[in-house]
Structure formats: C-alpha cells, structure tokens
Structure 1
Amino acid sequence: MHPTISGNKWRKLKYILRQALSDQALGILSFGGAYSNHLHALAAAGHQLGLPTVGIVRGEASSRHNPTLSDARHWGMTLEFVDRQQYRRRQDADWLAELALRYPGYLMVPEGGSCALALPGVAELWQELWQEPRQAEQQIDEVILPVASGGTLAGLLSARSAHCRVRGYAVLKGAHWLTDEICRLYPPAAQDAGWQLMLDHHGGGYAKCSASDRAEIDTLASQLGIPLEPIYSGKALLGLFRDIAAGVYPAGSRLVFIHTGGLQGARGTQGLR
C-alpha cells in the first residue's frame, strides 16, 4: 500500500490525517511502544505532510536508537519516554489535559490509531475485497486478522456484510477486555453475532514468541512466499493454521486473511522468546 505507511496503519491514519489538516492542527500526538508500527507510520506521514508529530513512548530513552524510533526521529517526531505506570494513564483525562497544555493545537490520537476516525478507512477494505476478481461478496465466509488495539476489527465490523463473519486473533495475553474496547469503538458490535475473538494464540503475550513458534512462522512465510513478523500477522496466521488443523473451521470454508503490515517491526525481534 505504501513503502513506509503500511497495512492497517495506512487505513487507520487516512481520516485522522485528513481531520488534522482540515482543522489546521499544529501537529499530532500519539502513544506507542518502542517498536510501535503506529508511531513509525505516523512519523512518516507527518514528515510527508509537513505536520509535526509527538510520540509518547512506553520504555527507556535508550531505545531511541532502535530501528523503529531511529526512523521516527529521522522523520522529525519528538519522542517522550515514560515508564509503564505512567503509560497506563494514556486514556486518563487529567494526563491528556496536561499534554494538551504542553502541545496546544495538537490532535491527540489513541494508541495504535484506534479511534472513531480510524473506522471508515478500515471499512474501505471491504470494497477492495469485493473488487478482487476471485473474491465476490458471496464467495467469502470469514475474514481473519490479528488484533491488538481493536481498531481494525471495529472498522471491519462497521461495514460487515451479513454473508461474511469476522474473526480476530488476539496477540495479547488475557485480552478479554478487547471485546469491550471494540464495542466502545463501534457500539453496534455489542449486538452483532457475526464476529469472534480468538484468545488462545497469543504465544505467551504481546511481543513474545517462542523459538519453536518463530520457526513455524518462518516456515509459513517461506512456504507461502509472504513476509511475516512474529508479533502480529505471523502469530495470527500461525494460530489460524493450527485452528484449521484442529477442525475449528468447517471443511470448505472460504477464508481471507488480512495481513496488517508492520514488517518494519521485525527488525527488532531477533531476540524474542
């Protein structure tokens, strides 16, 4: 989709960026970890649009030299590092008010870009799917994708066809709360029976991947000819193949897997366990 603003990040940022430009915002501030695909994409987009960006980063300042944050700094993103306790306040109104005072005129975007403005960009994916010669609307039973902050799944639900279910593979441990988050982002999801979260393929937790799982993901990537990373799409695709082998999906099911990008993050994952 784009050499640096990849996959679902491009889709989620599309209308956020349009809103920032329309409002003549002085910049955009958002949140993420030290290898955040979202902050990486936001920094690249801000650089191209001449829009200042600020990243509130969970972690130590020493991580500023990793590949992800080095790119972000190169593109002009201002980085502020906070500890895990402070980072947990990223939805706290008081802290957001403090940040607004320090960065007046900046549009504040939640972690992962998951907000109401992200949904329409993700929803456009359906039209692209139906335009594929072999993917007419009636020829897909389920769309499968990795889930972390919930915005991409919520966006897909906002334009879901009655003929097609959506199933998300959570890449975080103990992610039952994601159901509430998805319903907060898209309230009709609470009454929608056409989607499901798979919670047992997190591999031990966010950004955790055993050597054996990593080897299986690498084998999948080689067999399919598709580059994968072990945090999002690689982990979810491995879970999907395991569930297919376990009979979770009826024989003959027509599935589409959404690769959400984020391959840049693989540059820092060699030591994952």
Structure 2
Amino acid sequence: MSGDTTDWPDGAENIGSLFRLPSPVEELMDSRLEARGVRLLLKRDDLINPDISGNKWRKLKYNIQAARRRGYKQLLTFGGAYSNHIRATAAAGFFFGLQTVGIIRGEKHLPLNPVLAYAVEHGMLLDYMDRQTYRRKNESEVIESLRERFGDFYLIPEGGSNELALQGCAEIPNEITQDFDFICCPCGTGGTLAGIAAGLRGKQEAIGFAVLKGADWLNNDVLHLQEGAYGGPQGRWRINLDYHFGGYAKTKPELWLFIKDFEERHGLCLDWLYVGKMMYGIFDLVERRIFEPGTTIVAVITGPI
C-alpha cells in the first residue's frame, strides 16, 4: 500500500490505503519460456484496486485531479453495455465524491447486466444513445445537447484515452525496477500503449496487442494521442494485429484452452477480452522464436475483467 499522497489526485488522501501502488511485479516461471531462454515479468496492475484496477485507474487518475481542480462536480463518459470503463468511472465518482453520467451505446435492456447494475449501485446515472448518434458522440453538437440535458460536466472520452490518461500510463515503466527489453499491453483505444511508450528508456520497446479486428487505424490513434500529450511521437512502439481472435468480444476455442491451461499452471485467470489475447500472443511469439534468447518481457495485466 502506498502511504505517499503526493502523487494522488486531490481528495484521495482518505482512501489512499485502498490502492496498491506501485503495483507488484512478479516473474512467471514457465517451462515453455525457459525452453526459449525468455524471461517474462507480470506487472500486476489488476491488483491496484478491485473496483478501479489496472489501466482504468491509470487513465482516470489525472482526469479526476483535473476535474476537481477546475471545480467540476460531475463526470460524463461513454461506453458499451459491458464497458469496464463505465464501471470504473462509476466507482471513481463514488470514491471521490463526483456525480457520474454514463452514456450507453444502444437500447436499454432490463434487467441490467452486472456491469451496468454496479454502475447504478455506485451512483451513476445511465442514459442510452442510439447507435447512429453514438457514432457522432465527439461532435460539438452532440456534446452541447448533453450539457443541456445534464448540466455542466467534465468529459472523459470512451475508454478513457486522452492526454491526461497518457500521463498515468507513462508511470508504469518507471515502477519496474528490473531491466527489460519489451513491455506488452492489450490495445483497445491505444491510450495505454501511447502512455507506456512515452515512459520507456533507451532501447526498450512497447508492443500493443490489438483486441479488435482490422485495427490498423490504431497506429494513427496512438500517434495522435502522443502528439496531443507531448507534441510528437514518443518511445519505441508497435502494434500486433494478429491475436484478436475474430474481433472485440469474440473468441475461439484455442483461446479458451490457453486461458484454462494458464490458470491451471499459474493460478491466474486471464480475462478473455483483453489480457488473455495478449498473453496468448506473447507465448505464441516466444514459441515461434520471435524473441531472442536472453530477452526479458514485461506483460502488463491491465485488469481482471
């Protein structure tokens, strides 16, 4: 647990003991890695907090600070019906005394699924937006119509990826005291990868494993995020597009078999939406000898769900 409050958002002093920072780094002992001479470290961001874990906390941290500093009383964000970002934003609002509004893509369905039920239980007001309008959610006309309905709010983008989110994610490499060559993370909107790359040193390289099919556009999104946050490209990074297993929220039997085997070997259940796909990709690349013997890889466990 971290007792130092200097790096926490305003108002976090009373709950700082609930957050485990820096998150631990654990070496994974696995015969498949040993056979290829590769060392794998797990950056356990899933252990930061059970409600705002992993990259969700990294992305929200400085946004919460900015919202409070500017006097906002309300956060508004977007997401799908099963969005972990929606869940985490509701939890953050609850912990930090901020009202929250979640704009959900599509129609309302009852009973609420566990993610949305949790959000409501923690004070989030849910509203639903048709898919056609949702595609225009970043346009000023849509944002202004939301302000007319809900009053003033601090806007957090879908997935939480913005310039302040990168600041939080950039802290991850500096928390790792062991030497490493590559650091890997799942890649949805590109914010985590963009931030991690900005925090790298020397020849270290970040690899993002895209969880969406045909996500070539992520390269431009990562560049755009880094340009907004830092004025230009930062660090060495690349995106692997080969392990999406059919696209977001899609899977295949071989992924389930890998996740089941991984849990039996190591006692850690990988989520299949993000982390499981990344870890499958890492082990497949190791098996294919893409990483040279003597390489040390860090895998960021961004969350349990």
Provide TM-score, normalisation by structure 2.
0.80
SS in structure 1 opposite 2:176? helix
How far apart are the structure 2 equivalents of 1:156 and 1:63?
Answer: 38
> How many correspondences in the alignment?
256
Query: For the structure 1 residues 64 and 107, does the alpha-carbon distance in structure 2 shift closer, same or farther, using more than 3 Å as the test?
Result: farther
How far apart are the structure 2 equivalents of 1:42 and 1:197?
Answer: 27
Checking the alignment, whether the CA contact within 8 Å between 1:34 and 1:63 is kept in structure 2 is: no
1:222 aligned onto 2:269 = no
Identity across matched positions, percent = 40
How far apart are the structure 2 equivalents of 1:129 and 1:102?
Answer: 44
SS in structure 1 opposite 2:258? helix
For residue 226 of structure 1, report the CA deviation from its aligned partner: 1.8
How far apart are the structure 2 equivalents of 1:80 and 1:15?
Answer: 25
How far apart are the structure 2 equivalents of 1:145 and 1:4?
Answer: 20
Query: For the structure 1 residues 160 and 113, does the alpha-carbon distance in structure 2 shift closer, same or farther, using more than 3 Å as the test?
Result: same
How far apart are the structure 1 equivalents of 2:294 and 2:52?
Answer: 35
Alignment match of 1:252 (pick from 284, 294, 298): 294
How far apart are the structure 1 equivalents of 2:110 and 2:163?
Answer: 30
Provide TM-score, normalisation by structure 1.
0.89
Alignment match of 1:129 (pick from 164, 172, 176): 176
Alignment match of 1:31 (pick from 78, 97, 108): 78
How far apart are the structure 2 equivalents of 1:34 and 1:77?
Answer: 13
For residue 61 of structure 1, report the CA deviation from its aligned partner: 0.8
For residue 63 of structure 1, report the CA deviation from its aligned partner: 5.8
Q: Name 1:89's counterpart in structure 2.
A: 136
Q: Name 1:11's counterpart in structure 2.
A: 58
Q: Tell me, which stretches of 5 or more residues in structure 1 are unaligned?
A: 266-273
Q: Name 2:226's counterpart in structure 1.
A: 186
Q: Runs ≥4 in structure 1, deviation > 3 angstroms?
A: 188-193
Checking the alignment, whether the CA contact within 8 Å between 2:198 and 2:235 is kept in structure 1 is: no
Q: Tell me, which stretches of 5 or more residues in structure 2 are unaligned?
A: 1-47
Q: Which residues in structure 2 correspond to 1:163-174 (within 5 Å)?
A: 163-174=203-214
Checking the alignment, whether the CA contact within 8 Å between 1:29 and 1:56 is kept in structure 2 is: yes
Q: Which amino acid aligns with 1:235?
A: K
Q: Note the alpha carbon deviations across 1:28-56, whole angstroms, 9 max, x for none.
A: 00011111111101101101122110111
1:160 aligned onto 2:193 = no
Q: Name 2:11's counterpart in structure 1.
A: none
How far apart are the structure 1 equivalents of 2:131 and 2:266?
Answer: 37
1:110 aligned onto 2:166 = no
Structure whose residues are more often helix by fraction: 1
Query: For the structure 1 residues 157 and 193, does the alpha-carbon distance in structure 2 shift closer, same or farther, using more than 3 Å as the test?
Result: closer
